[in-house]
Amino acid sequence: MSPSGVQALGPGALGESKLNKQKHINYWKRCLKTYLPTAYTSTDSNRMLLAFFVVSALDLLGALLEHTKPEEREGYIDWIYRCQHPEGGFRGFPGTDFGDERNAENKMWDPANVPATYMALSALLILGDDLSRVKRRECLQWLRKLQRDTGSFGETLGENDNIEGGTDSRFGYCAAVVRWILRGAAKGEVEGVPDIDVDKLAECVSSAQTYDGGISESPYHEAHGGFTYCAINILAFIRRLPPHITDIGPGADRGPPGLGDLDSAVRWLVSRQTEILTEEDEPDIDDEDARDEAGSEPPKEEVRDLRGFGIFPEDNQALTRLELLWAGFNGRPNKIADTCYCFWELGALCALHRQHLTDTEACRRYLLDKTQHMVGGFGKVPGDPPDIYHSYLGLAALALLKDPSMKPIVPSACFSQDAARFLESLPWRKEITAGGDSLPQGFQYDLPSKIDERPKEGASDSNYMAMSGG
């Protein structure tokens, strides 16, 4: 029986949940070809992130080549390269570039940015650029300078090459993807540059696992879905996941695994799925009485209305089953569901080969029925207008769920398998990896036959296959 009891409702009880693909394509075309609303000024410094989302969303929808001319794509590529930093890496946005006035005294205000570098390289690959204009050696040298003695990475280099930015796994994750793109799984020096300290990075990730099993910003901080995705996928890229998680694909490197307690991590991740979708759904308990009883004497009457948290009165079972048709993911215990966490939690589970332990259908329906917006894109929670961040992660989550109208995705890299295949086909990259396997630990491309079996969604499939070189 389906865990959500869909069959119990009988056929036709609900409309078919479907991605309004054309609406999404229109939404992203608008983001690509017209100015973003002024409200995005507050994210101006993260323009490279927005750029990646726009380009990659159209790619995942199989619509990038169809809706852009080659000269436009060349223009986008040129813009990204304009953000390349003279000393390696990429800027987050053009706003810090002093142009001809850049000098040794002011360059600290115009640094390259670690997340922007991951996003820029990814967007270039998606646009079909072979990365030949990337200052690879400088970028790898710069990346090493961003790693702290504790293993963590910062965001930028400041005055006197001081490492600026937080110590959380986001920057380590972005650094791990940059390393993967530019060096694959090569050992030792590449372009004369030694590798980052992989052992320290694994240690740093491992130390941030919390008492409840998730992974936090740093030791003893609260576990969080975004940090957990980043941390687990760092381990996939540096091949330090526990070796027994999968018997397919390239195995783990020797070295200490970076996830001390796999079982509790999985438990924490699957526990993030929730049918609490809005603040109104939160259990309405009147703590006033209970509070007075919370001292030494146990209160007599302990259960209130907890239906929303998974306990349902017998006579109300059908209704509750219906509610269970939609279940998203939250980022932390006792928070409401949010579109983006469908990607972060499922993306972490995919790396661990455990995504099938969730109610994937209920998640799919949550995205398609509850946060998909009628103008295209996704909002954060039901009823919210779409924004670029949630719209991208909503699509990426559907790609993790192998939605037939989406291209297959590399869960650890958050972009299409076509883009990864294209990267692997590049001659300079083949030379570095010497024909060896360079994919994230446990990852395998979807079989081509599977792609062929997917329902026909227009001519886009052949387009992207052509782009990736087959």
Partner 1 sequence: MPGYGEDPEWSDIVPLPQDDGGPNPLAAIAYSDEYSEAMSYLRAVMAKNEFSERVLRLTEDIIDMNPAHYTVWLYRAKALFTLHKDLRKEFDWLNPFALRHLKNYQIWHHRHTIIEALASDLDEKSPKIDNMIREEQDFLDRMFTKDAKNYHVWSYRQWLVERFNLWDCEEEREAVDDLLRKDVRNNSAWNHRYYVVFGRPNAPKNTTEGHVLMQREINYAEAAIRIAPQNQSPWNYIRGILSHFQQPLSNIKSLASEFASLEKPDEVKSSHALDLLAEIYKEERQLDCAGKAWDLLAQKYDPIRSRYWMWKKEQLGTAAA
Binding string, 225-264, against partner 1, x = CB under 8 A?
----------------------------------------
Question: Least distance to partner 1 from the beta carbon of 434, Å?
Answer: 34
Residue 295 backbone dihedrals phi, psi, to 5 degrees: -70, -130
According to CB under 8 A, which one of 9, 270, 381, 465 is a site residue for partner 1?
270
Binding string, 68-97, against partner 1, x = CB under 8 A?
----x-xxx-xxx-xx--------x-xxxx
Stretch that binds partner 1, among 7-15, 207-215, 337-345, 375-383 (CB under 8 A): 207-215
Residue 199 backbone dihedrals phi, psi, to 5 degrees: -60, -45
CB atoms within 10 A of CB 100: 5
Q: Which of residues 126-185 bind partner 1 (CB under 8 A)?
A: 155-156, 158-159, 164-166
Query: In this complex, which beta carbon is closest to partner 1, that of residue 355 or of residue 441?
Result: 355
Distance CA(364)–CA(354), nearest Å, equals: 17
Stretch that binds partner 1, among 3-11, 186-194, 241-249, 338-346 (CB under 8 A): 3-11
Residue 113 found at the interface with partner 1 (CB under 8 A)? yes
Residue 271 found at the interface with partner 1 (CB under 8 A)? yes
One-letter amino acid of 152:
S
Q: Are 225 and 336 in contact (CB under 8 A)?
A: no
The number of residues that bind partner 1 (CB under 8 A) is 105
According to CB under 8 A, which one of 290, 319, 447, 459 is a site residue for partner 1?
290
Query: In this complex, which beta carbon is closest to partner 1, that of residue 48 or of residue 439?
Result: 48
Stretch that binds partner 1, among 141-149, 180-188, 293-301, 461-469 (CB under 8 A): 293-301
Length of the chain: 470
Residue 313 found at the interface with partner 1 (CB under 8 A)? no
Q: Which positions ≥6 away from 81 have C-beta within 8 Å?
A: 124, 133
Question: Least distance to partner 1 from the beta carbon of 106, Å?
Answer: 5
- DSSP state at residue 147: B
Residue 215 found at the interface with partner 1 (CB under 8 A)? no
Output the furthest CA–CA distance in the chain (Å, rounded). Answer: 75
Residue 77 exposed, middle or buried by CB count within 10 Å (0-12, 13-18, 19+): middle
Residue 148 backbone dihedrals phi, psi, to 5 degrees: -85, 170
3-state secondary structure of 139: helix
The tokens describing 210, both together, are: 């919390």
Query: How large is the C-alpha radius of gyration of the chain?
Result: 23
Query: In this complex, which beta carbon is closest to partner 1, that of residue 389 or of residue 445?
Result: 389
Stretch that binds partner 1, among 107-115, 377-385, 413-421, 455-463 (CB under 8 A): 107-115
3-state secondary structure of 410: strand
Q: Which of residues 334-353 bind partner 1 (CB under 8 A)?
A: 334-335
Q: Are 355 and 348 in contact (CB under 8 A)?
A: no
One-letter amino acid of 59:
D
Residue 295 found at the interface with partner 1 (CB under 8 A)? yes
